[in-house]
A and B are shown apart, each in its own frame.
Chain A
Amino acid sequence: MSDEISILIQDRKTGQRRNLTLNINITGNIEDLTKDVEKLTEIPSDELEVVFCGKKLSKSTIMRDLSLTPATQIMLLRPKFNSHNENGATTAKITTDSSILGSFYVWCKNCDDVKRGKLRVYCQKCSSTSVLVKSEPQNWSDVLKSKRIPAVCEECCTPGLFAEFKFKCLACNDPAAALTHVRGNWQMTECCVCDGKEKVIFDLGCNHITCQFCFRDYLLSQLERFGFVNQPPHGFTIFCPYPGCNRVVQDVHHFHIMGQTSYSEYQRKATERLIAVDDKGVTCPNVSCGQSFFWEPYDDDGRSQCPDCFFSFCRKCFERNCVCQSEDDLTRTTIDATTRRCPKCHVATERNGGCAHIHCTSCGMDWCFKCKTEWKEECQWDHWFN
């Protein structure tokens, strides 16, 4: 099996740079590659260091494990002196190239599915792939947040650089969003919903395992009755399905597994909820629109224009031609008289029966209708009914 790959040779001894296209055997290893290069360039193979994804690869790494595509470029470096410590870059002997291999999962928009992903490293400044990281990423934050991992770029040589990490779909090579809660089921643990032992599972960091199919159905059932709760900074999200576990999904990309239509519905409903609890939020009263937006507080005359359909209306009575002056604001009076506001999100809440323990459907707060504060032990015993 042979594949064409593109390589860049940086010869520090002679100061030369060469681009080559090479036919390689993808079942061969890095040592085979350096020997092929030696034949073409007469640079001794034992002087060549192979840099890929920010790391120097061990000679025994199999080419196929690198998930190369025709667009990938590999850098071969011939140091000025035969030293392995140049630039302070990582020289750790790599035994498993696990971070390069697809040991994690991504949401691929192109494949419209959860796929295995690969991590690629670029120079933050010139986007070149000819970079060496000075330390190995240790956790998700190291690769998801910028300026965490210092790097050296062989292309632009700018001092004080950081590595930039990107995720790609292993199947189609498109850029994709990392799914930090999805992993392989290494220990073959049972799903907490169906007891099945699926290969790809959700784990919100609490070790409660849900298979990807049950997690999708769980999301869809929660969407139906909008069981998503606003948990800043994560936005409207969902708890781990394990009873009593308060871990939440930390990144909305995971909700894509519901499918595009349901994901759009989630976005729309979450926006509506957010607007409903924000003083500056308003929903366009035009029947054919319904767009939610924030109004600008400066120069306010009590009217707003929808940025989507340009319908202009009074924010108090929601009419194009304001009727606030001509009529008593009966609606407002009635709402004020019959409801109390949630102490956390201020949504108007009507109690038409039952006890005084209110579970806010908007923000999830448990509060006492009598005290208008958080539900306490004292309310538990004395305020069920007033």
Chain B
Amino acid sequence: MSDAATRRLMKELAQLKSEAPEGLLVDNTSTSNDLKQWKIGVVGAEGTLYAGEVFMLQFTFGPQYPFNSPEVMFVGETIPAHPHIYSNGHICLSILSDDWTPALSVQSVCLSILSMLSSSKEKKHPIDDAIYVRTCSKNPSKTRWWFHDDSV
């Protein structure tokens, strides 16, 4: 990690712990010693298809963070079934690649993913899930996404 990246991540972590937004399980947040990898729990919002369900998001930061986007995916036992989330945990969300800007943060990414879950109308993986999961790279950042609808 570069000094700048470490400084920024430490600040983000402190902020997240002092004022955790609703829907993020900050107590469940675990970070590697070098801050390179974080795991954050998210809870589906009330009144949505995922109400009360707990999922685990994994963030991996490169040395160029925040100028390069973090690699973000769902990990663990349950991967949410959603039209933009593949069964291997990869997420099709434009701010995680093309639309990433260094002014975004772990918190803003988590909130975007939560809002993506909230607006889903159907619990179902993308149509091309089977072929994507078989052929994709391990790192979702390497995927050249054709973004599905941002509003879901």
Q: How far is the CA of A222 from the CA of B4 in the complex (A)?
A: 18
A-B pair count, CB < 8 Å, reads 71
Which one, A3-11, A112-120, A189-197, A253-261, is touching chain B? A189-197
- Using Cβ atoms and an 8 Å threshold, which residues of chain B touch A380? 149, 151
Point out the residues of chain A lying under 8 angstroms from B68, CB to CB: 221
In chain A between 327 and 386, which residues have their CB closer than 8 angstroms to a CB of chain B? 351, 353-359, 380-381, 384-385
Q: What residues of A have a CB within 8 angstroms of the CB of B146 in the complex?
A: 351, 353-359
Q: Is the interface of A mostly helix, strand, loop or mixed?
A: loop
Query: Are A243 and B95 also in contact (CB < 8 A) when A218-B67, A357-B149 are?
Result: yes
User: Inside 8 A of B108's CB, which chain A residues have their CB?
Assistant: 243
Asked if A221 contacts B148 (CB within 8 A), the reply is no
> Is A310 located at the chain interface by the 8 A CB criterion?
no
B151/A220 in contact, CB under 8 A: no
- List the B side residues contacting A217 at CB < 8 Å: 4, 67, 102
Other-chain contact of A241, B102, B132, B147 (Cβ < 8 Å): B102
Determine if A214 and B147 form an interchain contact, defined as CB atoms under 8 angstroms apart: no
Residues of chain A at interface, number, CB under 8 A = 28
SS class of chain B's interface: helix, strand, loop or mixed?
loop
Q: Are A195 and B11 in contact (CB under 8 A)?
A: yes
Report Cα–Cα, A381/B126, bound state, in Å. Answer: 14
- In A193-219, the 8 Å CB interface with B consists of 193-195, 208, 210, 214, 217-218
CB within 8 Å for A221 and B67 given contacts A242-B101, A357-B146: yes
Q: B96-136 interface mask toward A, CB cutoff 8 Å, 1 = contact, 0 = none?
A: 00100111100010000000000000000011100110000
Determine which of A227, A243, A351, A359 lies in contact with B147 in the assembled complex, contact meaning CB atoms within 8 Å.
A359
Residues on B with C-beta less than 8 A from A195 are: 8, 11
Total chain B interface residues with beta-carbon distance under 8 A: 29
Contact B147 A357 (CB under 8 A): yes
Are A353 and B104 CB-contacts (below 8 A) given A217-B67, A380-B149, A384-B149? no
Given the complex of chains A and B, what is the CA–CA distance between A382 and B1 in angstroms? 43
Q: Among B94, B103, B128, which residue has its beta carbon within 8 angstroms of that of A353?
A: B128
User: Interface residues, chain A, CB within 8 Å of chain B?
Assistant: 192-195, 208, 210, 214, 217-218, 220-221, 227, 239, 241-243, 351, 353-359, 380-381, 384-385
20 A-B pairs with CB atoms under 8 Å apart are A193-B8, A195-B8, A210-B103, A217-B102, A218-B102, A221-B68, A227-B98, A242-B103, A243-B95, A243-B104, A353-B132, A353-B146, A354-B128, A354-B145, A355-B148, A357-B149, A359-B146, A380-B151, A381-B149, A384-B148
The interface of chain B, by Cβ under 8 A from chain A, is 4, 7-8, 11, 64, 66-68, 83, 92, 94-95, 98, 101-104, 108, 126-128, 131-132, 145-149, 151
Closest A-B pairs by Cβ, 3 of them: A354-B146, A221-B67, A192-B103
